[in-house]
Amino acid sequence: MNSMRYISTRGKTSPMGFQDAVMTGLAPDGGLLIPESIPDVRDRLDKWSELSYQDITFEILRLFVDIPDDALRSLIDRSYAPFTHEEIAPAVPVGDIRILELFYGPTLAFKDIALQFLGNFFEYILEQRDEQLNILAATSGDTGSAAIHGVRGRDRINIFVMHPKGRVAPLQEKQMTSVLDDNVFNLAVEGTFDDCQRIMKSLFRDLKFKNRYTLGAVNSVNWARVLSQIVYYFSAGLYVLKTDGADRVRFSVPTGNFGDILAGYYAYRMGLPVGKLILATNENDILSRFFNSGEYSLGDVVPTLSPSMDIQVASNFERYLFYKVGQDSIRLSQLIDRFEKDGTMQLDVGPDGNVDEVFESGIGDRQSTLDTIKRYYEDYDYLMDPHTAVGVSVGERFMRAGEPLIALATAHPAKFSQAIREATGRDLARHEYLDKLADAPTQCDTLPADQGAVRAYIESHVPATTAE
């Protein structure tokens, strides 16, 4: 059983074990929890390249978790049992690239890979400790439905999911609001995803309220989310390296909240031979602008064809920034304080104009997204959702001979059938599970974008788990 400890990026929280880190979510000092050290696994890569997805998951997670091996194996097996592809996350050759399909879980999105595990992990810890948990989450689309399906019906857990009213895809909203279990509460917030995220973080920083209601996080501020996603970088990367006889691979990752590509960054730091991590944004381009200029500055949130990426403030960016400033918590806190005050921060760029040698970045706008969906359907008979198309569009600009490109497919195209119809002129994207939702009853409450309103809602719907 591993003894890895977790520290806060802000440096004012005592180190803790993995189970406590998962239950804590956001660190008490407002920072994000990260492992005290990053394991070097370069001497294990040949062996791992022969393993199944579940076995690679076990080998990676056991480096970071503090539960017995037999319990960990059981958690992994239960978590991936609902997936409909035996490889869990296959890397499929399409044209000149590989597409890493991450949508074979219960809600047809890559978030299932982490949230099925996290739901089982929460339940394991709560049973061990005889405790209750109230999850508070903010979603721009897929996190909400994946989290709800990961914990629905569990006796010891309630979940409150905030989504920006009218700003998630209709099918994504239906996936959340059609779950009528007594422990599920859907909240449509009259604002943007950034408003939802701000409310969530402010309530977690209110330690008295957080402790009284035992608040837990399933957003990618929770380290377990990022950890679970590291696995598919190794699984796909090692498979493609072996199959293609290459020395390094490139990953193109559509991102808004920086969690998915951060997992790739950890895989790179652990020793996976990564040539480039290609960060692809839509028109909400705060992250792309940062990696091309060193400036991290707020803009207005623009509705796009890829709504799960319609984000300006990327909650996982702080973890990366911690390493970028040399793991200096004081310097990091100064930068975050400046950003929260002025809406901007500036870091130095290298001689090539880039912030970090392992990152490339670009924007996939509306037209390039539609063009990519249409082209891959016409040329390869392959349908991709608009988020995946953003990643493919940008990734193609940074292809390099000898370094295979793996583009992450983050959702099943049927979840965004309107974009597919606009791109191809045909109603091509269907899925039996989603078709069944058409006439399903729903349950959702609308709240203003106000911390007090969300706090009062929680207080009125579940009892406090501890005394004042």
> Which residues are designated catalytic?
111
Residues 6 or more apart whose CB falls under 8 angstroms from that of 88 comprise 53, 54, 80, 104, 113, 232, 235
The DSSP result for 320-339, as a single string, is: HHHHHTTS-HHHHHHHHHHH
162: left (phi over 0), alpha (psi -120 to 50) or beta: beta
Contact 218, 115 (CB under 8 A): yes
- Longest CA–CA span in the chain (Å) reads 63
The one-letter code for the residue type at 98 is: R
The one-letter code for the residue type at 392 is: V
Distance CA 403, CA 245 (A): 10
The one-letter code for the residue type at 58 is: F
Other beta carbons within 10 Å of 209: 17
Which residue reads 């999850």 in tokens?
A: 135
Tell me if residue 109 falls in helix, strand or coil. strand
DSSP state of 275: E
Residues 6 or more apart whose CB falls under 8 angstroms from that of 281 comprise 254, 255, 256, 287, 288, 309, 361, 362, 363, 364, 390
Contact 154, 177 (CB under 8 A): no
- Which helix (H) or strand (E) segment holds residue 185: the answer is strand 184-190
